[in-house]
Amino acid sequence: MTPADIAAAETILGVTFTIDERALMLDNLEAQIIRARVRRGVDLGDAPPASTFDPRLPGFVMPQGTGMLRLLPVDAPLPDDDDDIAFAPVTHLAHWIRQGALTSARLVEIYLARIARLNPTLNAWATVTPDIARAEAEVVDALTREGVSLGPLHGVPYGLKDLFDTKGVTTGWGAEPYADRVPDTDATIVGKLRRAGAVLLGKTTLGALAYGDLWYGGRTRNPWNPEEGSSGSSAGSASATAAGLCAFAIGTETLGSIVSPSQRCGTTGLRPTFGRVSRAGAMPLAWSLDKVGPICRTVADTGLVLSVLNGGDTADRGSIAAPFHWDASKPLAGLRLGYLPEAFGGGATDLDRTALNTAKSLGLETVELTLPDLPYESLTNVLFAEAAAAFENLTLSGRDDELTWQDAPAWPNAFRKARFLSAVDHVQLDRLRYRVMQAVDALFRDCDVVIGPMGTANMLTATNFTGHPCLHLRSGFDRLATRPPGALGSSAGPARPTDGTLHRVPHGISLWGGLFNEGPMLSVGQALEAAFDVHHIRPEI
């Protein structure tokens, strides 16, 4: 080790020391490196960090309520057409099954037929499990005939993002090194869904290691324009739900992976409060950021599915036991809707501004908000470091070269670069994160729900790091050329060169709510869904 080595490292770390200071460091740098190498020689297995993230600031009071879900009644009759049944809301499907008008077995066959016909185009399923689906449907239907219901999702078929363990079924994480991985146990939420009566159709695709929409089976496609990807990383969950290949699907979000494919595919995605849903048995990408939530076709469906997923779990160190309550029949009177004016400025679309005006027309008290000027994007280095730690063995073994990337080296390269991030800077990032938590908390002192475009005014980044919930729903349609591959599904940005063809594609708006207080956000979302009246329009695929 020489002073010249230290000087070269300073360039990478963005710091500067004097010649004398470099000389002083030589006596202990070797020992520091040795300690690091000794630690790398220990296989940490699936051990999580000892420190856990808690989104609750001092003085936080858990929202009070009945701890129950109350949805609007369903009175629609069962359609004759199989496609109409396939696209029906979960609330309707569950109602028809309970009433005996529809069997789970018939619904499973409807979806399996659609998967066989459309998945070769969409590439939204990593593994289809027809035997499991038919067996589970048979059990559910037998119980229905006996007058027994397992729960609110009794007989409803769903897709599961392929980073959740399923006993005896490949869980490949979208990445070549793990393509043959077969777990021995189920993830916690798999058991929850089964006990609530949900029927597993199979595993939906994700971008490799939860990045984008490219996986070892190719690119997952947007049903509204199959020439472009569905965005990610919950790529298959959004594509399959939008195309009517399942009743709903489960996604995860670390930094946009539920809301972004929902924006691209026109689905309704709910990212719950950090800690509300167990991640036990899920691939860890970033322990302090990963969140689990439903991707559906209606707001009510997301609330219904979340009521099943909700609950504390000692197997997940980040889990927080919290009641979930939403009364969908409760009027909006008294709710305050906040917005950041700059979010609807030059970077916004006419559809975004129309969505804000529609929200204002609901009779809510509207409040202009301001976020402090903080380096929010700097927080993404936390994500890179946690992800690099989660996949350290992949990087240091050289197996990261097995992943194929058509667009960019993505995670493997980010993992490598994260090795050069300063530990001191990371402690400071943790302190910055606390400042951001205080800033976002202040927003919800002045309002109950915030509205804005998905990726503007720092809300996507800020709220993922603070743990606040987000609901993204379709607000209208745009006509756009095929968009380039990328991790985020924003309608903004340059299109790749094409023949000039414009495609009718969905556009959405985001709502954010207070910690563990998704109810008001869902109520505003349900009212907006009715006002927009576009959620029922299907892709022509």
Catalytic residue numbers, as ranges: 161, 233, 257
Distance CA 275, CA 267 (A): 23
Residue 522: strand, helix, or coil: helix
In angstroms, the CA 170 to CA 337 distance is: 44
Q: How far is CA 87 from the centre of its chain?
A: 21
> At which residue do the structure tokens 């946009």 appear?
256
Residue 253 contacts by C-beta under 8 Å, 6 or more apart in sequence?
234, 259, 271, 290, 291, 293, 464
Cα 478 to the center of its chain, rounded Å? 23
Residue with tokens 């520091």, as numbered in its chain: 32
CB of 521 closer than 8 Å to CB of 101: no
**Cα(409)–Cα(78) distance, integer angstroms:** 48
Q: What is the phi/psi pair of residue 125, to 5°? A: -120, 125
DSSP state of 98: H
Q: Are strands 157-161 and 248-253 parallel, antiparallel or unpaired?
A: parallel
Instruction: Tell me if residue 262 falls in helix, strand or coil.
Output: helix
Number of CB atoms found within 10 A of residue 130's CB: 15
Contact call for residues 515 and 56 (beta carbons, < 8 A) = yes
